[in-house]
Amino acid sequence: MGKRTRLTEREEAFVRAQRVARLATADAEGHPTAVPVCYAYDGAQFYSPLDEKPKRIAARHLRRVRNIEARHEATLLIDRYDDDWSRLGYVLVEGRAEVIEPGAPEHARAVELLRVRYVQYRAMNLEEMPVIALSPERVVSWGPALDAPDESQEANASQNDQERQNIWLQPGRGVNFLPLARGRRSVRAFQQRPVPRRALEMMLAAAQWAPSPHGRQPWRFAVLTRNEPKHLLADAMGEEWKRTLAMDGQPEEIIQLRLEKSHERIRTAPAIVLVCLYLEDLDQYPDPDRQHAEEIMAIQSLGAAIQNLLLSAYALGLDCGWMCAPLFCPDTVRAALELDSSLIPHALITVGYAAREPKRRPRRPLDELIVRFD
């Protein structure tokens, strides 16, 4: 056990390996409060964000913020429990706390560190939220996990940090892709939280790098975040849906129910990406067979762009739904959104934060999908 103003290498390794801490503060009269927090450490200071998670009061009115502004004192407890008591440990940091306002150089650095450490923060507008900075004045640590740290834990923490940087900051390989592909799910109900423009741009940038025939990128995107265009689109598509459902011989009450659910999905989605096929830049052939194959390649690449978009959204902590309704009424969609006739609407991707865990359909066993493997 020791008392210092800087962390040892072992303590730093332990701190990097943990994902959550407890931040304790007290008001002017000494009444304490403690909350779980995410954090980043730059070797000199700890940073904890006041992020966008739904709260009953504004971030600047949170008790920990008011306490820090009153006393400028805080304690951060980073600990680990395991049923194997040879793997217990904690680092307790006491020091001076400050609330760093947006615009300060230190604020930008803190946001960068937090986004490297927590992939979910890349979809949040941390630039406009204060950050708590804690400068250690007293460090206390204890536990077998620090005296003889779990090497696999340190390796995993280092690997996770490197993978997060590889995904967003470096062009290198080595990303653990399969958990990302398995984790993605289709969501129909979203929280009423806006999706930051930065997150939408990052999703579209991922779609931009999808493979395409001759590198022509035969897709274009229309992004809807305001209520008015979303409502116009839902209303315009409603009559077409109603007509096609009636052609299937479905009862009027079922048609109305399905129509209302589809309307709700579009109107309540915080953001919508309309994915359109764009054939103007494709190679032109004198024979219809090759031209048809060229268009099929374009459609295939459009699916790859959508998949990139979906996976990047999930990596950013967002969820999506994929609606193919525009395929059945492209003229209606174009007219409602005043799009150019060269754009062929193919899909609506609803984007937001899941309101609840969706039910997931089971996947077929892999051996049923592989028809030949020589």
Helix and strand numbers (H, E) in the chain are: 12, 12
Global confidence as pTM: 0.61
pLDDT over 60 at 16, yes or no: yes
35: nearest Cα among 18, 22, 20: 22
Alpha-carbon distance 279 to 302, whole Å? 11
Alpha-carbon distance 298 to 308, whole Å? 15
Alpha-carbon distance 235 to 80, whole Å? 53
pLDDT of residue 166: 44
Neighbours of 259 (CB within 10 A): 17
pLDDT of residue 56: 53
pLDDT of residue 171: 43
pLDDT over 90 at 204, yes or no: yes
> Mean pLDDT, to the nearest integer, of 182-198?
89
Q: Which residue has the tokens 């007509």?
A: 243
> Mean pLDDT, to the nearest integer, of 14-21?
93
Tell which phi-psi region holds residue 170, choosing left (phi > 0), alpha (psi between -120 and 50) or beta.
beta
Alpha-carbon distance 59 to 50, whole Å? 6
CATH architecture observed for domain 3-168: Roll (2.30)
319: nearest Cα among 272, 348, 354, 360: 354
pLDDT over 60 at 351, yes or no: yes
Q: Where in the chain is the domain with CATH 3.40.109.10?
A: 178-352
pLDDT of residue 178: 79
118: nearest Cα among 58, 168, 82: 168
Q: Which residue has the tokens 């008790």?
A: 63
Q: Which residue has the tokens 């219809």?
A: 288
> Mean pLDDT, to the nearest integer, of 244-258?
78
pLDDT-derived band at 4 (thresholds 50, 70, 90) equals low
Q: Where in the chain is the domain with CATH 2.30.110.10?
A: 3-168
Average predicted confidence (pLDDT) for the chain: 86
Alpha-carbon distance 197 to 217, whole Å? 22
- Measured in whole angstroms, the distance separating CA 76 from the mean position of its chain's CA atoms is 27
**Greater model confidence, 5 or 363:** 363
**Six-digit token string for 112:** 């960068």
CATH architecture observed for domain 178-352: 3-Layer(aba) Sandwich (3.40)
pLDDT over 50 at 170, yes or no: no
**Greater model confidence, 311 or 112:** 311
**HEC readout, 185-240:** CECCCECCCCCCHHHHHHHHHHHHCCCCHHHCCCEEEEEECCHHHHHHHHHHHHHH
Q: Which of 177-181, 187-191, 364-368 has the lowest average pLDDT?
A: 177-181
pLDDT over 80 at 58, yes or no: no
Tell me which H or E stretch contains 311. helix 288-315
Percent of the chain predicted with pLDDT > 70: 89
Predicted confidence (pLDDT) per residue in 75-131, tens digit:
999 999 988 888 899 999 999 999 999 988 899 889 888 988 887 887 788 888 899
pLDDT of residue 244: 75
E-strand ranges in the chain read 3-4, 21-26, 32-37, 40-41, 46-49, 73-80, 89-100, 131-142, 219-224, 271-278, 319-323, 343-352
pLDDT-derived band at 206 (thresholds 50, 70, 90) equals very high
Neighbours of 305 (CB within 10 A): 23
Tell which phi-psi region holds residue 217, choosing left (phi > 0), alpha (psi between -120 and 50) or beta.
left
pLDDT over 60 at 216, yes or no: yes
- Measured in whole angstroms, the distance separating CA 160 from the mean position of its chain's CA atoms is 17
